[in-house]
Structure 1
Amino acid sequence: MSGPIRRLGVVGAGTMGAGIAQLGVSAGIETILHDPIPEALERGAAQIGAGLDKGAARGRWTEAEADAARERLSTGSALEDLSDCELVIEAAPELPDLKRELFGRLAKVCPDAVLATNTSSIPVSSIATAAAKPENVVGMHFFNPPPVMRLLEVIAADQTGERALALARATGEAMGKHVIVAQDGPGFLVNRCGRPFYTEALRLLQERVADAAQIDRICRLAGGFRMGPFELMDLVGSDVGLAVAESFMELSYGEPRWRPNPIQARMVAAGRLGRKTGRGYYDYSVEPYRPEDPKRPDAASGPLPAPEGLIDCSARSLAAQRPDGVGFVRLLEAPLVELTRGAGTSDAAAEVAEAHFRSLGLLTEWVDDAPGLVIGRIVAQLVNEAHFALGEGVGSEADIDAALEIGLNHPHGPLAWGEAIGLPAVLATIDGLWQERREERYRAAPLLRRRVASLQRC
Structure 2
Amino acid sequence: MNSPHFNIETIGIVGTGAMGRGIAQIAALAGLTVRLFDTNPQAIDAARSYLGDTFAKLTAKGKLNDIEGRTALERVTGAPSIESLADSDLVVEAIVENLEVKRKLFRDLEAVVSGLCILVSNTSSLSITAIAAACNDPSRVAGYHFFNPVPLMKVVEVIDGLRTNPAVGDALMDLARRMGHTPVRAKDMPGFIVNHAGRGMNTEGLRVVSEGVANFVEIDRIMREQAGFRLGPFELLDLTALDVSHPVMESIYHQFYEEPRFTPSPVTGVRLAGGLIGRKAGEGFYCYVDGKQQVPEEAPAPSALPQRVWVSRSHPEAREAVLQILAKANVTLDDGAHAAADSLLVVTPFGLDATSAAVEEGLDASRVVAVDALFPLVGAQRRTVMTTPATTREARDAGHALFASDGVPVTVIRDSTGFVAQRVVATIVNIGCDIAQQQIASPQDIDLAVTLGLGYPRGPLALGDALGAKTILTILQNIHRVLGDPRYRPSPWLARRAQLGLSLAQPDAADAPNAAGAAQ
For normalisation by structure 1, the TM-score amounts to: 0.93
Whichever of the two has the greater Rg, that structure is 2
Q: Which of 44, 53, 62 is the matching residue for 1:41?
A: 44
Q: Which residue of 1 aligns with 2:322?
A: none
Are 2:284 and 1:280 aligned? yes
Counterpart CA distance in 2 for 1:121 and 1:229 is 20
Give yes or no for contact 2:160–2:166 (8 Å, CA) kept in 1. Answer: no
Q: Which residue of 2 aligns with 1:136?
A: 140
Are 2:193 and 1:181 aligned? no
Are 2:104 and 1:101 aligned? yes
Residue 292 of structure 1 and its aligned partner are, at CA, apart by 6.8
Are 2:131 and 1:127 aligned? yes
Counterpart CA distance in 2 for 1:80 and 1:288 is 47
Describe how 1:71-90 pairs up with structure 2 within 5 A: 71-90=74-93
Tell me the amino acid that sits aligned with residue 146 of structure 2: F
Q: Which residue of 2 aligns with 1:390?
A: 436
Counterpart CA distance in 1 for 2:435 and 2:68 is 41
Q: Which residue of 2 aligns with 1:311?
A: 347
Q: Which residue of 2 aligns with 1:114?
A: 118
Instruction: Give the secondary-structure state (helix, strand or coil) at the position aligned to 1:209.
Output: coil
Residues 1:12 and 1:192: Cα distance change in structure 2 (over 3 Å): same
Counterpart CA distance in 1 for 2:467 and 2:298 is 25
Residues 1:77 and 1:292: Cα distance change in structure 2 (over 3 Å): farther
Residues 1:288 and 1:153: Cα distance change in structure 2 (over 3 Å): closer
Q: Which residue of 2 aligns with 1:226?
A: 230
Q: Which residue of 2 aligns with 1:326?
A: 369
Deviation larger for 204-213 or 45-54: 45-54
Counterpart CA distance in 2 for 1:112 and 1:306 is 77
Unmatched 5+ stretches in structure 1: none
Counterpart CA distance in 1 for 2:227 and 2:357 is 25
Instruction: Give the secondary-structure state (helix, strand or coil) at the position aligned to 1:85.
Output: coil
Describe how 1:2-401 pairs up with structure 2 within 5 A: 5-110=8-113, 111-284=115-288, 288-291=293-296, 302-305=328-331, 309-322=345-358, 323=365, 324-333=367-376, 334-401=380-447
Describe how 1:393-412 pairs up with structure 2 within 5 A: 393-412=439-458
Kindly provide the CA deviation profile for residues 333-361 of structure 1, in whole angstroms up to 9, marking residues without a partner as x. Answer: 34111001224434444344334333445
Residue 137 of structure 1 and its aligned partner are, at CA, apart by 0.6
Counterpart CA distance in 2 for 1:372 and 1:454 is 24
Residue 393 of structure 1 and its aligned partner are, at CA, apart by 0.3
Residue 305 of structure 1 and its aligned partner are, at CA, apart by 4.8
Unmatched 5+ stretches in structure 2: 1-5, 302-324, 335-344, 359-364, 503-520
Residues 1:146 and 1:437: Cα distance change in structure 2 (over 3 Å): same
Give yes or no for contact 2:326–2:332 (8 Å, CA) kept in 1. Answer: no
Give yes or no for contact 1:326–1:340 (8 Å, CA) kept in 2. Answer: yes
Kindly provide the CA deviation profile for residues 309-343 of structure 1, in whole angstroms up to 9, marking residues without a partner as x. Answer: 21112221110112232101144334111001224
Residue 173 of structure 1 and its aligned partner are, at CA, apart by 0.7
Counterpart CA distance in 1 for 2:372 and 2:218 is 15
Residue 200 of structure 1 and its aligned partner are, at CA, apart by 0.3
- How many positions carry a matched residue from both structures? 452
Are 2:491 and 1:454 aligned? no
Kindly provide the CA deviation profile for residues 73-92 of structure 1, in whole angstroms up to 9, marking residues without a partner as x. Answer: 22112111111111111111
Tell me the amino acid that sits aligned with residue 368 of structure 1: R
Residues 1:307 and 1:5: Cα distance change in structure 2 (over 3 Å): farther
Residues 1:295 and 1:170: Cα distance change in structure 2 (over 3 Å): farther
Counterpart CA distance in 1 for 2:257 and 2:479 is 23
Kindly provide the CA deviation profile for residues 347-390 of structure 1, in whole angstroms up to 9, marking residues without a partner as x. Answer: 44434433433344532110111222011110000000000100
Instruction: Give the secondary-structure state (helix, strand or coil) at the position aligned to 1:320.
Output: helix
Give yes or no for contact 1:32–1:75 (8 Å, CA) kept in 2. Answer: yes
For normalisation by structure 2, the TM-score amounts to: 0.82
Instruction: Give the secondary-structure state (helix, strand or coil) at the position aligned to 2:354.
Output: coil
Residue 190 of structure 1 and its aligned partner are, at CA, apart by 0.2
Residues 1:343 and 1:22: Cα distance change in structure 2 (over 3 Å): closer
Q: Which of 452, 472, 482 is the matching residue for 1:426?
A: 472
Deviation larger for 337-346 or 35-44: 337-346
Tell me the amino acid that sits aligned with residue 119 of structure 1: T
Deviation larger for 265-274 or 112-121: 265-274
Counterpart CA distance in 1 for 2:7 and 2:408 is 52
Counterpart CA distance in 2 for 1:264 and 1:306 is 46
Instruction: Give the secondary-structure state (helix, strand or coil) at the position aligned to 1:180.
Output: strand
Kindly provide the CA deviation profile for residues 61-100 of structure 1, in whole angstroms up to 9, marking residues without a partner as x. Answer: 2121111211212211211111111111111111111110
Give yes or no for contact 2:351–2:419 (8 Å, CA) kept in 1. Answer: no
Residue 295 of structure 1 and its aligned partner are, at CA, apart by 12
Counterpart CA distance in 2 for 1:215 and 1:266 is 19
Instruction: Give the secondary-structure state (helix, strand or coil) at the position aligned to 2:111.
Output: helix
Tell me the amino acid that sits aligned with residue 290 of structure 1: V
Give yes or no for contact 1:152–1:180 (8 Å, CA) kept in 2. Answer: yes
Counterpart CA distance in 2 for 1:294 and 1:32 is 56
Residues 1:318 and 1:126: Cα distance change in structure 2 (over 3 Å): same
Residue 307 of structure 1 and its aligned partner are, at CA, apart by 5.3
Counterpart CA distance in 1 for 2:23 and 2:298 is 37
Counterpart CA distance in 2 for 1:240 and 1:87 is 27
Residues 1:74 and 1:307: Cα distance change in structure 2 (over 3 Å): farther
Kindly provide the CA deviation profile for residues 410-454 of structure 1, in whole angstroms up to 9, marking residues without a partner as x. Answer: 111111110011011101111111111111111111111111121
Residues 1:155 and 1:305: Cα distance change in structure 2 (over 3 Å): farther
State, as a whole percentage, how many aligned pairs show the same letter.
35
Counterpart CA distance in 2 for 1:343 and 1:37 is 60
Residues 1:305 and 1:371: Cα distance change in structure 2 (over 3 Å): farther
